[in-house]
Structure 1
Amino acid sequence: MFAPTPPSRSNRPTLSLPFTARPSRRARLAGGLAAAALLAGTTAGAAELPLVRVVLSSAGLAQFLHAGPVTGGGSIELPVRLDQVDDVLKSLTVFDREGGVGAVGLPGKQPLAELYRDLPFGPDALASPTALLNALVGTEVEIAGPVTATGRVFRVEPEEITLPNGGGTVTRHRLSLMTGRGLVQAVLEDLTTLRFTDPETRAQIERALAGQTRNRAKDRRTVSVGFLGDGTRRVALGYVVAAPVWKTSYRLVLPKEGGTARLQGWAVVENLTGGDWTDVELVLVSGNPVALRQALYTAFYTDRPEVPVTTATRVMPRSDDADAAEPRPKMYEGAAPRRMPAPQVGQMQRMAPALAAPAAMPPPAPEAESMANLARASEAEEAATQLLYRFPAKVTVATGHTAMVPFVDRDVQATRTWLYQPETSARRPLAAVRIKNDGDTSLPPGIVTAFDGADGTAAFVGDAQLPLLARGTFRYVTFALDAKTDIRREDLGIRRTTLGKAVDGELTLTTKSRRTLAYEITPPADEDREIVIEEARTDGFAPAPDQKGVEETPTRFRATVAAPRGKTTKASLVLERTDRQTVILTDLAPEEILARIRGLENETPAVKDTAAKLGALVGDINRARGERGRLDAERKRIGDDQARLRQNLGAVGSGTDLGRRYIDTLKTQEDRLAEIGRADQALEADIAAKRQAAVQLARQLKL
């Protein structure tokens, strides 16, 4: 699938899987690579298995299967994009019926950083010889040229040299070596040979250069899979990664007459993998299974608590200074312990649904067929949760290219009709076709281009959208506005009727709401129309019992109206809703009881008599409440006046004439307050009695 230059395998860490001494003949599964141990190297002679199968999901994943011969003791390499390594680690599956799976490994996520962690210099040291020598100050080297010496690198410093005859300046680098006979200098550019004498230093430089070569492809990693056993046999290797979704594009040819239409479905696929798909088996999957992604290629560390180091108590003897103040003991303070921050685990991201791995290694590939053979109907298979399309011919798609392959080409049951959607067009219906899937498998959703007429003379009539069409079900596909038909719609509103049933103070109210939608349909003068009226479904409403032939969907009501040519047809859609409510009348106030039983459609003389009595009681209670309100207002006025009189009495004194007048007035007011209190109590008792009478009337009500 990918075609980068395979990196060198020397000194490359790999991941190991446990295996038994006698491998089973069943397919070995190489999964859970992130938990395996590191090895020191891989088997020499690694190769790449050719890509033989591509399974594309409409949910945004692709399953790739590589298959071919391997020899026991050898290994194969699988170059993958860096952003796909997590998915490969999650889904990599190896099929080997004859031998066993050995080591499976790949370089670390940041192999250069790990490489330079163990080297005495960083990656910047390889920028130039000067940078390398300055990074290895103190290392012994041998130089030859105008100056021949052996010594340790002291420093390389740039210097500007003026060229003769005004030729400008040039930068040279002066190397200083500390030798046994002192400091020796030489111009680096004039040397013919410079050699590091320490074999370990030469090996470290070689490791760094080899690592740079292996990791030139920054966005690539190579997974290496080893195989045990003897002899040559055929194996397969599969994995699931993110990929562009494949799109569905239908062509629908509507005949002039008859009940069938020609449906042709094409799949639009893109190859953005970085490698060509050459003569591969192509499988398309339409489904929505659950898939997860996890950062398996990222190293995580757990946070460990740090405990202080236990030391002896520090003793601070007091100095022998009797005249000085006693010193304050100084607390010993060590460096504050550093805590490693807890690593932030990458958030689980929701991916598009994963594809199931193949049950077994694919059989040997048949001879490649021409692209013309793709016109044959693809082999469709419907599983429990997804729909698969297998193509009879091999497919070749170059990297970065887009291809179209047919997966459906057959007749379907189709009926021309007109669909009226008020929210789409208030006055015009939509030209539509009712398609029934009478095939063996479901049809995935996609865009539809509709044509009118027979093959060779078909004319474009519009575009449409086909939702998922399960086996044995039908959908309306709308592709144009019918400008020749006029529809007037009027919402006549909702009429409500309420019936009541009362037993022992419990009232059950049944409210029936009836909504009527009226239509006037005027078809063309020379054409009949069969209009399917589509109204949004409202919670609780259903077609009235006298409405026949109304189809109900989870979101719509559909009523079919035949509109003969040359005249206006009137029709209506009546919807009903029934609500029930139970009320305990004895828990309500008299006025609420009265409000509940008034206006019932099944009101009887007894109910009217009870309502009249309740009306009288409510009137008496309201008058009593009004009187209590008047008495409360008078009580407040008297209280305010007494506060004023007591304030004045305190100012003039009780022995004065004016003071005695204040006292007489206060006595009179106190007598009135006592009368108000008695009257208020009587009114309160009267109200309670009338409420009790109302409750008794409610309990005795029969309806």
Structure 2
Amino acid sequence: MAEASELPLKRVVLSSSGLAQFTHAGEVAPGAALSLPVRVDQVDDVLKSLTLFAAPGTLGAVSLPGKTPLAELFRDLPFDQSALASQAALLNALVGAEVEIEGSVNAAGRIFRVEDEAAQLPNNGGVVNRHRLTLLTPKGMVQAILEDLTALRFADPATRAQVDKALTGLAGNRAKDLRTLSISLTGDAKAAAFSYVVAAPVWKTAYRLVLPKDGGKARLQGWGVLENLTGGDWKDVELTLVSGNPVALKQQLYTAVFVDRPEIPVSAGVRIVPKKDEAEARKSLRSGAPAYRAAPAPMAAMEKADGEADLYVPQTMGSAAQAPEAEEAATQVLYRFPGKVTLASGSTLMVPFVDADVSASRTFIYQRDTNERHPLAAVRLTNDGASALPGGIITAFESGSDGAANFAGDAQLPLLPKGATRFVTFALDGRTDIRRIDHGVTRARLGKAVGGTLTLTTKSRWAIDYEITPPATEDREVIIDEPRADGWKPLADTKDIEETATRLRQKVSAPAGKTTRTTLSRERVDFQTVVLTSLSPDEIVATLSGLENASPALKDTVAKLGVVVDTLAKLNSRKDEIDGERKKIADDQDRIRKNLASVGQGTDLGRRYLDLLKTQEDRLAAFSTEERKIEGDIAAANRKAEDIAQALVL
């Protein structure tokens, strides 16, 4: 196998979504193997995204150690990793192996065991721990002290190879968090490149905005702040910053996955016991079918597809003072820096990606949820550049009379698409006072009725007054900024209104030294369909009573329904009286029956009780008759109410 070599890092693309694309490229020797050290936590991403570029027919396979290489290594060895803790532990793990020893004892034989023993040093010098090796030789058991031997060799080459394999594996696993991918090349490849995408720190955006003293263009400078946490230095690499939100997925490609399979019993033939022959007793037979396992298919070699790009070619070196090239793609913006970048591992770099004059105008925004009495000093920025600007923090400066830029405040710039306008607020204007008076919501209900169906139209109006008092010597353009409530619209004749997805803004000019009054009025129209005949008479009256478009027909209908409601109220009141009387009689009858059981029916008092019970039963029968009539009258009243509602035309 050709000696492995690492291709130099040529290009770094950092995304604001927390991903980074690294491209390595360079010349290679024919048949070379390329190596790529990767952190264990990034192997899944590399396996997902690694893309290789080379001449057609020169790409081989990509291999790397397993996720737990030591566990896999010792799985196939006759000893575990703990056996390499000491010479004695290894020999005890290899009991039965043939060895040759030299020193105080010269012998050859099989390891029987190694035992610890304590030996007394001369002149009461203390106790030392030693290890006694016992060998089984053709001449019998031979013992030797390991510490007194000058040489110990394994006689079997296979055993020596196993120990060497374990030691080599331990040495290669010292970098516990790294795995090295080996990319094999075949044929006569002279140049190659590969690219992969892994997680990386998000590059941050920090803007500087210098506002002119007397209007005009503002100076906007955007810096990208990035870190190199790859573990290796970036030396003369091409740098591209990407602002966007691509879909980023993870999958455990580096973890072995086994699919659960249902277990079924071993298929066997039916046990057959033939009848006994008079001449000979036959043995019973059991038949079975051997199991076969399909051999795995060989891995297909990775080859370069037709029409695929050739070896990655770096861009031409540009001047360090030259601005990066901005490219707006379908879902992201790319900033390609013309000069090469060098950044040591663990270091932070700040590079300018925007430096241009932008359209800006001073204004003041009043947001009650930010401050109830004062507006915010703001700038209306228009992106008249060639690409969108990513969101980020802004440090604002104001140009003084001496030409110096003085700190004005910090702000947040949301994503600013090409040609779009955004407000940037950076300070509180304590010299402008605003009083907000919320008059609440007033509602008007209109109705239209045909065939017993009422269509309700509710018109709501919400008015808020503002009193704006600017400084005595300065005019103010104030933007009243209120949340946009669902279903509410500004009145059609309201001027200088701007609607966004979440905000409603009204521009107000407030001359110096005066209090300017303005009103932000919104309206909302809701519709509701009510089937009047499905309501009770009193519900019909309640629904119709609050309408603003009352007509003679509506008033007549409400009056007729009022009579029905009164009738129903009296009928239901009488039902309640009957229920009360019936309960009293039931309680009284229960008392009389108890007394009757005590005195007996043949006594004078018992006969009086019987007469009283008969009188009460007659009253209960009369109640039942009256109730049936009341139920009929109630049903008739409800039908009358339905007819009245059905006949209403409004």
- Normalised to the residue count of structure 1, the TM-score between the two structures is 0.84
Q: Which residue of 2 aligns with 1:12?
A: none
Q: Give the % identical residues.
A: 62
Matched residue SS, 1:87: helix
CA 663–688 in structure 1, closer or farther in 2 if over 3 Å, else same: same
Q: Which residue of 1 aligns with 2:296?
A: none
Matched residue SS, 2:66: coil
Q: Which residue of 1 aligns with 2:380?
A: 434
State how far apart, in whole Å, the 2-side matches of 1:544 and 1:695 are: 39
Q: Which residue of 1 aligns with 2:224?
A: 267
Q: Which residue of 1 aligns with 2:536?
A: 589
Q: Which residue of 1 aligns with 2:309?
A: 360
Q: Which residue of 2 aligns with 1:220?
A: 178
Residues 436 and 473, structure 1, Cα contact 8 Å, conserved in 2: yes
Residues 452 and 533, structure 2, Cα contact 8 Å, conserved in 1: yes
Shift of 1:367: 6.6
Q: Which residue of 1 aligns with 2:418?
A: 471
Per mean C-alpha deviation after superposition, the further-off stretch among 637-646 and 252-261 is: 637-646
Per mean C-alpha deviation after superposition, the further-off stretch among 473-482 and 173-182 is: 173-182
Q: Give the counterpart of 1:100 among 35, 43, 58.
A: 58
Shift of 1:262: 0.8
State how far apart, in whole Å, the 1-side matches of 2:353 and 2:539 are: 69
What whole-Å deviation, never above 9, does each CA across 1:282-304 have from its counterpart, x for those lacking one? 11111112121111111122223
State how far apart, in whole Å, the 2-side matches of 1:698 and 1:691 are: 11
Matched residue SS, 1:377: coil
Give matches, 1:228-239, under 5 Å.
Answer: 228-230=186-188, 232-239=189-196
CA 702–311 in structure 1, closer or farther in 2 if over 3 Å, else same: closer
Q: Which residue of 1 aligns with 2:241?
A: 284
Give matches, 1:400-549, under 5 Å.
Answer: 400-453=346-399, 457-549=404-496
Q: Which residue of 2 aligns with 1:174?
A: 132
Structure 2 counterpart of 1:180, which letter?
Answer: P
Give matches, 1:647-686, under 5 Å.
Answer: 647-686=594-633
Residues 374 and 406, structure 1, Cα contact 8 Å, conserved in 2: no
CA 162–579 in structure 1, closer or farther in 2 if over 3 Å, else same: same
Shift of 1:514: 0.6
Shift of 1:363: 5.0
What whole-Å deviation, never above 9, does each CA across 1:427-484 have from its counterpart, x for those lacking one? 1111100101111111111111111117961111111111111111111000011111
Give matches, 1:137-176, under 5 Å.
Answer: 137-176=95-134
Q: Which residue of 2 aligns with 1:324?
A: none
1:616 aligned onto 2:573 = no
CA 362–446 in structure 1, closer or farther in 2 if over 3 Å, else same: farther
Per mean C-alpha deviation after superposition, the further-off stretch among 679-688 and 196-205 is: 679-688
Q: Give the counterpart of 1:251 among 192, 208, 213.
A: 208
CA 518–375 in structure 1, closer or farther in 2 if over 3 Å, else same: farther
State how far apart, in whole Å, the 2-side matches of 1:384 and 1:602 are: 55
Shift of 1:605: 2.4
Structure 2 counterpart of 1:193, which letter?
Answer: A
Matched residue SS, 1:283: strand
Q: Give the counterpart of 1:196 among 132, 145, 154.
A: 154
Per mean C-alpha deviation after superposition, the further-off stretch among 161-170 and 195-204 is: 161-170
Q: Which residue of 2 aligns with 1:343?
A: none
Q: Which residue of 1 aligns with 2:640?
A: 693
Shift of 1:359: 7.5
Matched residue SS, 2:620: helix
CA 139–363 in structure 1, closer or farther in 2 if over 3 Å, else same: closer
Residues 157 and 175, structure 1, Cα contact 8 Å, conserved in 2: yes
Q: Give the counterpart of 2:67 among 109, 113, 116.
A: 109
Structure 1 counterpart of 2:599, which letter?
Answer: V
Point out where structure 1 has 5 or more consecutive residues left out of the alignment: 1-42, 316-357
Q: Which residue of 2 aligns with 1:6?
A: none
Q: Give the counterpart of 1:642 among 575, 589, 604.
A: 589
Matched residue SS, 2:256: coil
State how far apart, in whole Å, the 2-side matches of 1:578 and 1:483 are: 38
State how far apart, in whole Å, the 1-side matches of 2:128 and 2:227 are: 54
Q: Which residue of 2 aligns with 1:344?
A: none
Residues 193 and 312, structure 2, Cα contact 8 Å, conserved in 1: no
State how far apart, in whole Å, the 1-side matches of 2:217 and 2:372 are: 30
Question: How many residue pairs end up in the alignment?
Answer: 615
Give matches, 1:54-93, under 5 Å.
Answer: 54-93=12-51
CA 60–366 in structure 1, closer or farther in 2 if over 3 Å, else same: closer
CA 616–283 in structure 1, closer or farther in 2 if over 3 Å, else same: same
State how far apart, in whole Å, the 2-side matches of 1:306 and 1:506 are: 67
1:119 aligned onto 2:66 = no
What whole-Å deviation, never above 9, does each CA across 1:590-613 have from its counterpart, x for those lacking one? 111111111211112222222222
CA 414–104 in structure 1, closer or farther in 2 if over 3 Å, else same: same
Structure 1 counterpart of 2:385, which letter?
Answer: G
Structure 2 counterpart of 1:671, which letter?
Answer: D
Point out where structure 2 has 5 or more consecutive residues left out of the alignment: 274-306
Residues 71 and 227, structure 1, Cα contact 8 Å, conserved in 2: no
What whole-Å deviation, never above 9, does each CA across 1:628-661 have from its counterpart, x for those lacking one? 1111211222222223333333443333322222
What whole-Å deviation, never above 9, does each CA across 1:24-48 have from its counterpart, x for those lacking one? xxxxxxxxxxxxxxxxxxx321111
State how far apart, in whole Å, the 1-side matches of 2:61 and 2:628 are: 98
What whole-Å deviation, never above 9, does each CA across 1:525-550 have from its counterpart, x for those lacking one? 11111000100111111111231221
Q: Which residue of 2 aligns with 1:325?
A: none
State how far apart, in whole Å, the 1-side matches of 2:228 and 2:178 are: 17
Q: Which residue of 2 aligns with 1:303?
A: 260
Shift of 1:421: 0.7
Residues 44 and 252, structure 2, Cα contact 8 Å, conserved in 1: yes
What whole-Å deviation, never above 9, does each CA across 1:200-238 have from its counterpart, x for those lacking one? 1111111111111222211111111111222x5222101
Residues 316 and 338, structure 2, Cα contact 8 Å, conserved in 1: no
Across the aligned residues of Structure 1 and Structure 2, the Cα RMSD in angstroms comes to 2.1
Q: Which residue of 2 aligns with 1:294?
A: 251
Q: Which residue of 2 aligns with 1:134?
A: 92
Residues 159 and 174, structure 1, Cα contact 8 Å, conserved in 2: yes
Residues 10 and 23, structure 2, Cα contact 8 Å, conserved in 1: yes
Residues 393 and 412, structure 2, Cα contact 8 Å, conserved in 1: yes
State how far apart, in whole Å, the 1-side matches of 2:313 and 2:270 are: 76
What whole-Å deviation, never above 9, does each CA across 1:397-435 have from its counterpart, x for those lacking one? 111111011111111111100011100111111110010
Structure 2 counterpart of 1:516, which letter?
Answer: A
Shift of 1:567: 1.1
State how far apart, in whole Å, the 1-side matches of 2:563 and 2:217 are: 74
Residues 238 and 337, structure 2, Cα contact 8 Å, conserved in 1: yes
Matched residue SS, 2:3: coil
Shift of 1:618: 1.0
Q: Which residue of 1 aligns with 2:549?
A: 602
Structure 2 counterpart of 1:270, which letter?
Answer: E
Q: Which residue of 2 aligns with 1:383?
A: 329
State how far apart, in whole Å, the 2-side matches of 1:571 and 1:552 are: 18
State how far apart, in whole Å, the 2-side matches of 1:694 and 1:516 are: 40
1:564 aligned onto 2:511 = yes
- Normalised to the residue count of structure 2, the TM-score between the two structures is 0.91
What whole-Å deviation, never above 9, does each CA across 1:106-156 have from its counterpart, x for those lacking one? 111111111111111111122221221111111111111121111111222
Structure 1 counterpart of 2:428, which letter?
Answer: L
CA 244–361 in structure 1, closer or farther in 2 if over 3 Å, else same: farther
Q: Which residue of 2 aligns with 1:347?
A: none
Residues 456 and 527, structure 2, Cα contact 8 Å, conserved in 1: yes
